[in-house]
Amino acid sequence: MPASVWIPLSFHPGYVAAAGAAAAKNPIILGNISMAKKPTSPDKTKAAAKPAKPTAPAKKPAAAAPSPAPVIPAAPTQETLPLEPAPVEVVATETPVEAVVPAAPEVVAAIAEPVPAEPETAAVVVEPVAAEPEAVTAVVETVPVEPEAAVVEPEAAEIVAEPVPAAPPLIDPEPEGEPAEPQSTHVEEPLPDQEPVEVHLEEPEVHHHHRPSLFIVQIAPEMAPVAKVGGLADVVFGLTRELAIRGNHVEIILPKYSGMRYDHIYDLKEVYKDLWVPWYDGAIHCTVYFGFVYDRKCFFIEPHSNDNFFNRGSIYGFKDDVLRYAFFSRAAIEFLWKSGKHPDIIHCHDWQTALVPVFLYEFYQRLGMTHPRVCLTIHNFQHQGVTGAELLKATGLHDPARFFDYNRLRDNQHPNALNLLKGGIVYSNFVTTVSPRYAYETKDQGQGFGLEPTLHTHHLKYGGVVNGIDYDVWNPEVDRHIPAQYGVDTIERKYDDKRALRHRLMLADNAKPIVAFIGRLDPQKGLDLVRHAIFYSLQRDAQFVLLGSSPYQGINEDFWNLKRMLNESPDCHLEIGFDEELSHLIYAGADMILVPSRFEPCGLTQLIALRYGTVPVVRSVGGLADTVFDKDYSHRALHERNGYVFENYDGTGLESALGRAISCYYEYPDHFRELMKNGMRSDNSWNHPGRDYLNIYDYIREK
């Protein structure tokens, strides 16, 4: 094994999340990928831990003197916004289906075969949540299925029937005793091509650096800027470029949404006319398109059925979301197989594509797709794709006993439901989430929304990689959305952008710092603390700018009310909506960015802010804890300290950090400027994460 390759020695219990430092000493340990273990030395804001002295300076502040204690006036008590994160949604419900769960020993034997994870892992896949053997031998479960979730109404089957395929069936035969459902709402599959058809537009380029080039396929529900809902879209966009720059052949498979930003797709053309994707007892006819999105090679799958899977007003938010993405996952892998593509790595993202490894190892491996290995990245554990037994009928996973098993897809919390994300974890060769701290929080700190036992079972193949940001998009030296470009040596020009921001939002031009919040107005983001911070900032002689929007009407209304309440203030502006261009001006023009999240898998806003010399004030959770290091209390070297951090989710915690930031701005401007520059100098590009993902790919290829 070459020295540059990560070896599973790092899984040793002694290996802790802060692998970065160890990696510097030991080249065989992967840089920023850390297994989900408790961090050894988290940056603690002692001020927050001891609310009685919220602004107490560090005992040994070294060269950076802590900001002096400000006088903290009590913030006005405001009616609070929703606090609790929304529960994981269960999308489908209740049609009885019999699920006979086999006894545990057989389960272990069975799972060792299809799941190509580490042999050690496969041998111990019995999860803590599994029922007692005697209790599971003959359980008959009522499985939830929502009638509306059925894919097609009978009258919807208008596609011309075609002959049954002569090729090996892609769908397992119905198990004995399983009622043969008359699901004839879809047409049958036509004779598929006898030989897989090659549709490579070009041969993968081979770059002979010190490591072999890989053929990597990303299968994702979103990619910026053509179809973006959240950070996942940015990750797919940024990571694919980095992997390609490093000499790999990268292709991306996406749904062809009717509402995509087609103006960002170059040279879109049909490349595969008749892709028939098995679905229920028949198949759905699809067309595959190819186009470039800023040099990225993208395939877009368009199904032709009355389900209109991707032909809707928005990307998510429909009753049949689970079935829509189960179909997309099946279509993506069917396309790989039919077109003769055998990537080294298939990289899937979130629950929407988590069935891909299930399909690969349940169906396609025995059809000859023995080569690919699968990496699954989980961007947020809150959404898992929890559904009922209808999924099995739709996808051809026709063995309820096999799949309604705690070792495979059975949901840990809802015994009558299946969980797509869980299936992805079980079947993938490696699972990542988007920061080492979030990996630890999800496995060991109760942040896994019910998947904690599954993560424990599979901990040997679970780790965290902090996202990067795209330095082509986020670069104050060349950013065309801001009037004054600047870099670390011309940082004073940032104040021209501050003036421009004030002008645009009609804020007073005074000596005050600007505190900003940019993000989805979701309870996850700590909205009650955002609200608290607005009033606190105004009292502390700072200005406040908010840019955000919410899919929840109630939350939007709360913020509209707040906006009306503060309308007269010359020091506050709330912009409720989504505005990418304005976000650039805020990142450039603000002095501080606030991220007080309840939980934050990675967080991109603080990374972008660092790049723009805007000092982050964050809560110490998830990726925020891994990327922002407190000016006064971090154990890091002075030049690595880049912001303010608080721990407790309450007003006192928030004030302890934001108060120090505002005091430093006024009283120690030189120190504040150093913080700004430290952030600008740090590398939060895709450089490190790109290398880390390649190490993971190499690792699962060589196993």
CB 215 within 8 A of CB 344: yes
Would you state the structure tokens that stand for residue 245, as one six-digit string? Answer: 């720059």
What contacts 226, CB < 8 A, 6 or more positions away?
Answer: 254, 260, 261, 262, 264, 265, 293, 298
Strand 282-293 and strand 296-304: the pairing is: antiparallel
**Does 598 participate in binding ligand ADP (rule CB under 6 A)?**
no
- DSSP alpha helix (H) spans, 224-310: 231-245
**Does 106 participate in binding ligand ADP (rule CB under 6 A)?**
no
- Give the SS3 label for residue 675: helix
CB atoms within 10 A of CB 68: 13
In angstroms, what is the minimal distance from the CB of 547 to ligand ADP?
5
In angstroms, what is the minimal distance from the CB of 521 to ligand ADP?
8
CB 68 within 8 A of CB 665: no
**Does 476 participate in binding ligand ADP (rule CB under 6 A)?**
no
Q: Which is nearer to ligand ADP, 54 or 548 (CB)?
A: 548
In angstroms, what is the minimal distance from the CB of 580 to ligand ADP?
5
CB atoms within 10 A of CB 161: 12
Find out whether 228 is annotated in a ligand binding site.
Answer: yes
Q: Which is nearer to ligand ADP, 37 or 383 (CB)?
A: 383
Rg of the chain taking only CA atoms, in angstroms: 26
Residue whose pair of structure tokens reads 């025995």 in the numeric block: 366
Residues 548-577 that bind ligand ADP (CB under 6 A): 548-549
**Does 586 participate in binding ligand ADP (rule CB under 6 A)?**
no
Residues 600-659 that bind ligand ADP (CB under 6 A): 602-605
**Does 472 participate in binding ligand ADP (rule CB under 6 A)?**
no
* Segment 156-161 long-range contacts (CB within 8 Å, at least 24 positions apart): 156/185, 156/305, 156/306, 156/307, 157/184, 157/185, 157/186, 157/187, 157/306, 158/306, 159/186, 159/187, 159/284, 159/285, 159/304, 159/305, 160/187, 161/187, 161/188
Segment interacting with ligand ADP (CB under 6 A) among 318-326, 349-357, 547-555, 559-567: 547-555
**Does 583 participate in binding ligand ADP (rule CB under 6 A)?**
yes
In angstroms, what is the minimal distance from the CB of 583 to ligand ADP?
4
**Which of 262, 266, 560, 578 touches ligand ADP (CB under 6 A)?**
578
Q: Which is nearer to ligand ADP, 548 or 659 (CB)?
A: 548
- Distance of alpha carbon 659 from the chain centroid: 31
Q: Which is nearer to ligand ADP, 280 or 438 (CB)?
A: 438
CB 282 within 8 A of CB 186: yes
What contacts 493, CB < 8 A, 6 or more positions away?
Answer: 484, 485, 486
- Determine phi and psi for 105, rounding to 5 degrees: -60, -40
Q: Which is nearer to ligand ADP, 415 or 643 (CB)?
A: 643
In angstroms, what is the minimal distance from the CB of 595 to ligand ADP?
8
Q: What number of chain residues touch ligand ADP (CB under 6 A)? A: 17
What's the rounded Cα separation, in Å, for the pair 39 and 212? 33
What contacts 290, CB < 8 A, 6 or more positions away?
Answer: 201, 268, 269, 271, 297, 298, 299, 300
| C-alpha triplet 251, 696, 296: angle, nearest 5° | 20
Residue whose pair of structure tokens reads 């898992």 in the numeric block: 384
**Does 315 participate in binding ligand ADP (rule CB under 6 A)?**
no
Amino acid at 605: T
- The CB-nearest residue to ligand ADP is 231
Segment interacting with ligand ADP (CB under 6 A) among 36-44, 307-315, 542-550, 662-670: 542-550
Sketch the per residue contact string, 9 through 48, with ligand ADP: x for CB under 6 A, - otherwise: ----------------------------------------
What's the rounded Cα separation, in Å, for the pair 635 and 8? 28
**Which of 375, 547, 555, 574 touches ligand ADP (CB under 6 A)?**
547
In angstroms, what is the minimal distance from the CB of 380 to ligand ADP?
7
CB 162 within 8 A of CB 190: yes
In angstroms, what is the minimal distance from the CB of 323 to ligand ADP?
24
In angstroms, what is the minimal distance from the CB of 76 to ligand ADP?
25
Smallest Cα–Cα separation from 183: which of 303, 310, 319, 278? 278
In angstroms, what is the minimal distance from the CB of 688 to ligand ADP?
17
Segment interacting with ligand ADP (CB under 6 A) among 10-18, 322-330, 452-460, 545-553: 545-553
In angstroms, what is the minimal distance from the CB of 532 to ligand ADP?
20
In angstroms, what is the minimal distance from the CB of 588 to ligand ADP?
12
Taken in order 188, 193, 195, 200, the sign of the CA dihedral is negative
| C-alpha triplet 520, 525, 527: angle, nearest 5° | 95
Segment interacting with ligand ADP (CB under 6 A) among 206-214, 318-326, 329-337, 518-526: 518-526
Tell me the CB-side half-sphere exposure of residue 118, using CA atoms within 13 A. Answer: 16
Segment interacting with ligand ADP (CB under 6 A) among 109-117, 138-146, 329-337, 596-604: 596-604
Segment interacting with ligand ADP (CB under 6 A) among 96-104, 328-336, 543-551, 673-681: 543-551
**Which of 23, 75, 518, 628 touches ligand ADP (CB under 6 A)?**
518
H or E stretch covering 218: strand 215-219
Q: Which is nearer to ligand ADP, 75 or 235 (CB)?
A: 235
Segment interacting with ligand ADP (CB under 6 A) among 28-36, 133-141, 561-569, 597-605: 597-605
Q: Which is nearer to ligand ADP, 75 or 466 (CB)?
A: 466
Residues 205-244 that bind ligand ADP (CB under 6 A): 230-231, 234
Amino acid at 170: L
In angstroms, what is the minimal distance from the CB of 357 to ligand ADP?
23
Residues 149-178 that bind ligand ADP (CB under 6 A): none
**Which of 520, 631, 641, 688 touches ligand ADP (CB under 6 A)?**
520
What's the rounded Cα separation, in Å, for the pair 41 and 39? 6
In angstroms, what is the minimal distance from the CB of 590 to ligand ADP?
12
- Residues at the annotated binding site for ADP-alpha-D-glucose? 228
Which residues here bind ligand ADP, judged by CB under 6 A? 230-231, 234, 518-520, 547-549, 578-580, 583, 602-605
- Residues at the annotated binding site? 228
